Every structure is written in C-alpha cells, then in structure tokens.
Amino acid sequence: MKYLVTGGAGFIGSNYVFYVLKHRPEIEVVCLDALTYAGNLSTLKDVMDHPQFKFVKGDIADRDFIDQLFSEEQFDVVVNFAAESHVDRSIENPGIFLQTNVLGTQTLLDASRKYNVKRYHQVSTDEVYGDLPLDQPELFFTEETPIHTSSPYSASKAGSDLLVQAYNRTFGLPVTISRCSNNYGPYHFPEKLIPLMISRALADEKLPVYGKGENVRDWLYVEDHCKAIQMILEHGRVGEVYNIGGHNERTNLEVVKTILHELNKTEDLITYVTDRKGHDLRYAIDPTKITTELGWTPETTFDEGIKKTIKWYLENKPWWEEILSGEYQNYYETMYGQRGE
Ligand code: NAD
Ligand code: DAU
C-alpha cells in the first residue's frame, strides 16, 4: 500500500505521518508539502531516513507537477491535509485560501481519478457548519447539519468538501471526508491559540484574548484525530462524511487560564483585544456516527492532553523558538499591532 499524505510538514499532517509509520509498518508514505510558512521540514527530521518514508516538496495546485508525481508513484490512497489553515490570515488575505484549499483539492481529485486511486480522503473541519449559540449547550454539529460558513477559511474548506462529494457522485471517485474539531498537541504552529499562549506566557508577554474570551471550542488531542482518520480509511463507508470530536468544550478564557496555571504564571498577563471579525461563537461535535459505526473514541482527555502539550513545548523550545525568530515576528506585529487592548 502506498499513501500520499499532503501537508505532512504541518501540524496534523506530521502527527499523522508519525502515526502511520508507527502503527502501519506495511504502508509506504510519500509526504508532499509546499513548505509554506506553516510547513517545517525539521518536524520530519526523525523520519527522513525511515525506509517507508519519502518527502517531496511541491504544491498541490500545480497540475503538471501533481500529474507527474501520481504517474510515477501510483498511489493507492491520498490523504489531503494540505491547506491554508489559519482563520485570521484568511480574513487578511482570502485569495491564497481559495487557491490552495479549493483549486489544490480539485487538482488532487483530478489526479486521483486519472490514476485510479482506491481512496481519496479529505481532511476537513467542523468550521464548515458555522457556529452554535452559546446559550444552547444541547446543540451539536452532526453530519446532517447544513454547511453555513463564516470566514474565507471555512468557506474555502466547505468549497473543497463539496467538490470532493461531487467527484464521488459524478465520477464515482471513492472518497471519504472527516470533519474534526480543534486539535492541539505537538508541532502546533505558534499562531494558533494554545501554542501562541504557551510561548507568550513562557516569555511573560501579554496574552491576546479576542473579545471577552467567551467563545467555545471543542478540543481534541491530535493523535486521537490521526487514529480516527486511519479508522475511516480502513473501515469507513465510501462517500460518507464522519465528524470527529471528543466533547471537550472549553471557553477560550478557560483554556488560557489553564495554561497560565500549569506554567505558574499570573492571570494579569491576559489582555482583551478587539474581537476577530465574524468570530464563530461555539463549535461542538456530535461524534455518534464515528463512535457507533467504527468504534472510535478519544483516548486523551483535555486535562491530560494540555499537560502533555505544555510539557512538549517546554522540552522542544528550539522547534518553536526558531519559528518565532523568523518571518513570524513580523506577522505578530501586523496582526496584533492595531488590535489594541
Ligand atoms: P498547518 O497549517 O499546520 O499545516 C498545513 C500544511 O500544508 C503545511 O505543512 C503547509 O506547508 C502545507 N501546505 C499549504 N499549502 C500547500 C500547498 N499548496 N501544497 C502543498 N502543501 C501545502 O495546518 P493543520 O492545522 O495541520 O491542518 C491540516 C488540515 O487539517 C487542514 O486541511 C485543516 O483545514 C484541517 N483541520 C485542522 C484542524 C486544527 O485544529 N488545526 C481541525 C480540523 C481540520
Ligand atoms: O475547528 C477546527 C479549526 O480550528 C480548524 O479548521 C482551523 O484550521 C484551526 O486553526 C482552528 O480554528 P480556530 O479559529 O478555532 O483556532 P484558533 O487557534 O485560531 O483560535 C481558537 C480560538 O481562540 C478562537 O475562538 C479565536 C481565539 N483566539 C485565537 C488567537 C490566535 C484568541 O482569543 N486569541 C488569539 O490570539
């Protein structure tokens, strides 16, 4: 079996590469990544010489390159993680989100069709369902919840999901889609809430909480996501969507306070800044389908996972310090400079 894993130098993709090489030694993994600001080859250093692993640098939206790669490699399975993934960046510059997330997906779908890939899996997000109100905790996203997007990012992910479903219905391409809630864990890029707050708290810098910090996210430890994707690939029904989430809802303020507590830092580091435009209020996944059909359940609770994650960031400072010392320095000034307190 040969897998193409796109976006494997990013956060979830790299964790998935590690998961497959560890748990499925019979699978050959080709990782394709454009190494954008979010892709980091140093993340993959421990598997670079693994006999079942190969890294290829390239853009999923580059048609000639993708055709050539598929022709040479004859993949059995494609798992598409590659994407522009940060909501705030999509508000600043939507174009690249459409280019990578929509046109890149289409390019992979065309190649998967042409070269008879046995399964194409699209890694999607709960953000395609929009948001839930804060005052109705009994509501959850199911696979039947209508697509209703808020940001250019979520709109681009919804667009790619619809294309994936269209290629199944129109061309019979064997596809599956997973829609997961917020992930956290090792190798999470420090522009996202949890790693941003850990790295800034360690430096005694202000922690920018959007609005009042009341928005709710449903956190899943990244390895539980990777395991779910593998179960869908091996046992999921073709043409189906599976939601992934573990009922770990927290307000942003709760998350930030937990991090401060774990790091023995005081809450006066918290600073409330102008809210994100179009900020989704609450995400919460109903995982009944994947649990009952495939037997998936998360193994890591938020309390354990956040401790493990903080420990990882403490033990792997060079990984994120290198990122913070580069291009990202300018990013923080551009994004947060005008937000004010
Ligand atoms: P990430 O930003 O950390 O990684 C994305 C990776 O894709 C990077 O390595 C980047 O270099 C690569 N990439 C970007 N454009 C590319 C292109 N044109 N061609 C090839 N590679 C390209 O993102 P992540 O958080 O690991 O998310 C991975 C996937 O999971 C995304 O599709 C995202 O929408 C989805 N997802 C993320 C979360 C989350 O909480 N992070 C939750 C649900 C779903
Ligand atoms: O739900 C899945 C999605 O989760 C994925 O599809 C996205 O790729 C991923 O980035 C994530 O999106 P969010 O917008 O939920 O994640 P982010 O870490 O950017 O923000 C989490 C919450 O924290 C959100 O309510 C905004 C808030 N926030 C974020 C940042 C970066 C702050 O309050 N301050 C910040 O500085």
Give the ligand 1 atom nearest the CA of 153: 34
Amino acid (1-letter code) at residue 211? G
Does the structure show a pLDDT above 70 at 340?
A: no
pLDDT above 90 covers what percent of the chain?
94
Q: Which of 131, 180, 192 to mutate to test the pocket of ligand 2 (most atoms within 8 A of CB)?
A: 192
Structure confidence at residue 198 (pLDDT): 98
From the CB of 10, is ligand 1 less than 6 Å away?
yes
Summarize pLDDT for 55-99 with one digit per residue, the tens: 999 999 999 999 999 999 999 999 999 999 999 999 999 999 999
pLDDT given for residue 121 in this prediction: 99
Given a cut of 90, whether residue 339 has pLDDT beyond it is no
Which range has the worst mean pLDDT, 84-88, 135-139, 334-338? 334-338
Domains and CATH numbers, the chain: 2-274+281-338 (3.40.50.720)
> Which pLDDT score, from 0 to 100, does residue 341 have?
61
Torsion of CA 122, 84, 302, 121, to 10 degrees: 10
Q: Using the mean position of ligand 1's atoms as its centre, give its distance from the Cα of residue 190 in Å.
A: 14
Nearest atom of ligand 1 to the alpha carbon of 36: 11
The whole-number average pLDDT for the span 218-228 is 98
Q: Which residues are catalytic?
A: 126-127, 153
Model confidence at 328: pLDDT above 70: no
Average pLDDT of the segment spanning 218-230 = 98
276-300 confidence digits (pLDDT tens) = 999 999 999 999 999 999 999 999 9
Q: What are the start-end ranges of the E strands in the chain?
A: 2-6, 28-33, 53-57, 77-80, 119-125, 175-180, 183-184, 207-210, 216-218, 220-221, 241-244, 249-251, 270-273
